[in-house]
Amino acid sequence: MLVIANSVRKVDPALVEAAQTLGTSSRNLVRRVIIPATITDIYTDLRILLGWAWTYLIVAEVVGTMSGITYFINQQARYRNFDNVYAAIAMIGIIGFATDLFLAWLGRMLFPWKRRARKSSGMFAWLRNVLAKAMPAPSTP
C-alpha cells in the first residue's frame, strides 16, 4: 500500500488540476489521470519488491525448516558436498535473474511509451561500450 501511495503522490499536480478544471468526476480522475500516470512506476516497484520477496523467502526457509532449498543447502554443506551447495545457490540466483528479465521484457511490452532512448541496447551493451572505449578506432590513411 505504501508503494502505491508513494507512486500516486508523485503524479504531476498540473495533470490533476487540469482534469478538475475540465470538470471530471472523481471516478474519471482516478481512471483517466491517476492510474495511467502511475501504472509504470507501480510495475517497476513491484519488480523491486519481488526481489525483496525472494530474499525473505530464503531467510524464512533458513529458520527452522525441515524441507526446501535451504534445508538442502544446509544438509549438503554438513556433508561437505560443496558442489551441490554452489549449484543450489546458483539455481536460486538464476531463477531470480530470469524472473526479473522476464518481468522487464513484459514491462517493455505492456508500456511501450516508457521505453527510454539508449545508445545501444541488449544484455551485453555495457560490454560493447567498454570494449569500444578500450580499443582505439582505426585511423584512415
Confidence of residue 137 (pLDDT cuts 50, 70, 90): low
Cβ neighbourhood burial of 73 (10 Å; 0-12, 13-18, 19+): buried
Considering the chain, what percentage of its residues have pLDDT values greater than 70? 87
Cell of 127: 560490454
Full-model pTM: 0.65
pLDDT of residue 121: 60
Q: Structural domain boundaries of the chain? A: 2-133
Nearest-angstrom CA–CA distance, 19 and 104: 31
DSSP H stretches of helix in the chain? 2-9, 13-21, 26-29, 35-62, 69-78, 82-110, 125-134
pLDDT of residue 57: 82
Residue type, 63: V
Q: Which residue from 48, 32, 38, 47 is spatially nearest to 4, judged by alpha carbons?
A: 38
Q: Which CATH class is domain 2-133?
A: mainly alpha
Confidence of residue 106 (pLDDT cuts 50, 70, 90): very high
Cell of 29: 480522475
CB 82 within 8 A of CB 76: yes
Give tens-digit pLDDT for 5-36: 888 898 889 999 999 999 999 999 999 999 98
Residues sharing a CB contact under 8 Å with residue 130, sequence separation 6 or more, in sequence order: none
